Amino acid sequence: MRHGVAVLACLVVVGSLPLSVAGASVNASISNVEVSPSSPAPGETVTFETTVRNLENSDAPLEINDIAIRKSGGRGITEYERVSNLGSISPGSTLEVPLIASFDSSGSKDLRVIVYGRDRGTGENVELKYPVQLNVEERHPQVDITANDSVAGVESTGEVTVANGLDDQITNVEVVVEGDGVDMTKSRTVRSSVAQNGSITAPFRFRPESAGEHPLTATISYTVDGDTTRSTTRTTVIESDPLRNSVELDTTAVGSGTDRALRVAVSNGANAPLSDVMVSATSENASFQRVLLENISASTTRQVRLNATMDEPRADVTVTANYELGTETEQTTTETTLRSVPGTIDLTGLDVVRQGGRLQISGSASNVGSTDADSVLVSVVDTENVTPATPNRDYFVGTVPASDFVSFDVYARTEGNVTSVPLEVTYLVDDTRKRQTFDVDLDRLGGMAPQPEQDGDSEGGDQNSMLPVFVAGGLALLVVVGVLVRRYRRGDDDIEV
Q: Tell me: the pLDDT tens digits for 408-428?
A: 999 999 998 889 999 999 999
Using the 8-state DSSP alphabet, how is residue 341 labeled?
Answer: B
For 230-272, how does the pLDDT look when each residue is reduced to its tens digit (9 = 90+)?
889 999 999 999 999 999 999 998 876 667 899 999 999 999 9
Beta bridge partners of 205: 157, 186
- Superfamily of domain 247-339 in the CATH hierarchy: Immunoglobulins (2.60.40.10)
Beta bridge partners of 64: 87, 117
For 262-299, how does the pLDDT look when each residue is reduced to its tens digit (9 = 90+)?
999 999 999 999 999 999 999 998 999 999 998 999 99
448 — pLDDT class (breaks 50, 70, 90): low
Q: Tell me the percentage of the chain whose pLDDT exceeds 70.
A: 84
pLDDT of residue 257: 61
Q: What angle do CA 409, 412, 415 make, to 5 degrees?
A: 155
The mean-pLDDT minimum among 323-337, 398-412, 465-479 falls in 465-479
End-to-end CA distance of the chain: 159
Most confident of 306-315, 402-411, 481-490: 402-411
Q: How many CB atoms lie within 10 A of CB 224?
A: 26
Pick the more confident residue, 176 or 120: 176
Alpha-carbon 441 to chain mean position:
60
Q: Give me the mean pLDDT over the 151-179 stretch.
A: 94
**CA–CA distance, 250 with 262 (Å, rounded to integer):** 10
In this model, does residue 132 exceed pLDDT 60?
yes
pLDDT of residue 468: 45
pLDDT of residue 174: 97
339 neighbors 316 (Cβ within 8 angstroms): no
What is the number of helices (H) and of strands (E) in the chain?
A: 1, 34
CATH 2.60.40.1470 maps onto the chain at 12-136
CATH 2.60.40.1230 maps onto the chain at 345-448
Peptide bond into 388 cis (omega under 30): no
Q: Tell me the percentage of the chain whose pLDDT exceeds 90.
A: 64
Whether the pTM exceeds 0.75: the reply is no
Using the 8-state DSSP alphabet, how is residue 244 labeled?
Answer: -
- Would you identify the CATH topology of the domain 345-448? Immunoglobulin-like (2.60.40)
- Would you identify the CATH topology of the domain 12-136? Immunoglobulin-like (2.60.40)
Q: Which of 218, 228, 164 is closest to 196 using CA atoms?
A: 164
CATH 2.60.40.10 maps onto the chain at 142-241, 247-339
- Superfamily of domain 142-241 in the CATH hierarchy: Immunoglobulins (2.60.40.10)
Q: Give me the mean pLDDT over the 479-490 stretch.
A: 40
